[in-house]
Amino acid sequence: MKFALFIISTTLFVVFYIPLSRMEANLQNNSNGGIISLQFAFTQSRAEYIINSWNTELKPVALNSIYIDFGWIIAYVLLIVSFALFLEKPVITVFAVIAGALDFIENSIHLVVLNRDLLDLIPVASVIACAKFLSIIIAVFLVTLFAVLRIKNRGRADAK
């Protein structure tokens, strides 16, 4: 079960990451910033500057990127959960689920911003993005920490 979840989540992670990275590169290279720039815009004026640079050609790319990101949320949460299961550390799952929930809320806000021009929501979306990335960083740190400790403890057990 653990291994199957790992394989499925890794596959989904890659399947969603490839188009997301291409869309982000397209936005970054042909405008004043991509979705990541929008996530950390913090101000209405900065967000408006980014969104206006997308024009009618790139705005659909940005919207599609957000829609695809909903799938990537599931993939990265499941991938982190698979590591938590391998390591038998459920606390990691808590941070993964928090990150996924925050990402879902953030994406929803960005869709409202882009479809209804409600730039007032940008500061909220940016704060949520920071909390999301912090949750991801903590989850990855815990995976790394517990994996290193497990390897270290296994080495001590083998030495005895």
Burial code (b: 16+ CB inside 10 Å, e: under 16) for 60-90 equals: ebbbebbebbeebbbbbbbbbbbbbbbbebe
Ordered per-residue pLDDT tens for the chain, 160 residues: 899 999 999 999 999 999 999 999 999 999 999 999 999 999 999 999 999 999 899 999 999 999 999 999 999 999 999 999 999 999 999 999 999 999 999 999 999 999 999 999 999 999 999 999 999 999 999 999 999 999 999 877 666 6
Which structural domain range is residue 7 located in? 2-159
pTM: 0.94
Structural domains of the chain, count: 1
